[in-house]
Amino acid sequence: MPLRRYLPLALPLIILSCAAPSALGPNGNVQIRQSSPALVAEGARAFQSIKTQKAISSNQNYQNQINRVASRLTRVVNLPNAQWEFVVFDDPTPNAFALPGGKVGIHSGMFNITRTEAGLATVLAHEIAHVTSNHADARIKNQSSIGTAAAVLGGLLGGDNAQTATELLSGAGNIAFGLRFSRAQELEADRIGALFMARAGYNPNEAIQMWERFAAFNQASGNQGPAEFLRTHPLNETRISELRAYLPVAQQAFRGQ
C-alpha cells in the first residue's frame, strides 16, 4: 500500500500528542492554571470592545443578583492576579461567555432560564471554570496543532494536490478533534463548575435542574442544532447525563450556606 494511504492516519497521533491534560483530578482536585499576561491583556481588550458594541443591561435586579453570586463564587476560587468582572448585556439570547483573566459576560435572556441564584451560580461557575482551567490557551494550541499537522501531512503527500490535501486534512482534523476538544472542555467546565458552586454553598443538584430548563428552552424554540460530532458544545442530554454522574463528587464539597 502506498505511503500516502497511511499518512492521514497519523493526524490523530500528532494532534493528541499536543492535547492539554485535564484540569480536574480525582476526588474533586482542581488545578488552577493561570493565563499568560499577554492572553490576559488580550481578554481585557476584547471585553472592553464588547462593552462598547453591546448594550449593557440597565436591569439593576439582574446586576445585583450577579454581584451576589459572583462574590460567593470568586471567594472559593484561588486564581492569582485575577481581574474579575461580571457584566449583564441586554440581549434576549440565553448565552454567557468568559475571557482570559476573569472577564465574564451574561445575556439578560439567560435569567429567564437560571430563575434562581443557584441557577445563575451554575452558569457563572461554568464560565469561571473556563478561566481557571485556561481553556482559551489550550484551545489556541489545539487549533494550531491541527493546522500544523495538516500542513505537514499535506506536504508529505506532495504533488499538485498538496494544498488541497492540506485543506481537507485540516477540515477533517477540526471536525474529529477540534470540536471534540471543545466539547471536552465544556464537560470539564460543567464538572469544575459544580465543585465551585458547591464550595460556595450552592447545591450542585441545582445545576441539573438549570440545564434541564435550558434543554427545554432549546426544544421549545426548535433550536436543536446539528449532530453532536459537529458541535462545539455537547448535546444537552449528554451534558446532563455526564453532570449527573459527577454529582456524588460535587456533593462531597457541599456544606450549605
Most distant CA pair in the chain: distance in Å?
68
| Closest of 143, 138, 155 to residue 21, by C-alpha | 138
24 DSSP assignment: B
3-state secondary structure (DSSP) of residue 250: helix
Asked whether the beta carbons of 125 and 184 are under 8 A apart, the reply is: no
- Give the Cα separation of 33 and 133 in Å (integer): 5
Cα separation values, 80 from 49, 222, 254, Å: 24, 42, 24
Which H, E and C letters describe 183-201, residue by residue? HHHHHHHHHHHHHHHHHCC
CA 254 to chain CA mean position, Å: 23
Q: Which of 42, 85, 117, 127 is catalytic?
A: 127
Report the Cα 19 to chain-centroid distance in Å: 15
SS3 97: strand
Cα–Cα distance list, 90 to 55, 63, 65, 211 (Å)? 5, 11, 15, 22
Residue 127 is a catalytic residue: yes
Evaluate whether 91 touches 39 at the Cβ level (below 8 Å): no
Sheet with 96-99: list strands edge to edge: 85-89, 103-107, 96-99
Q: Which residue numbers are catalytic? A: 127
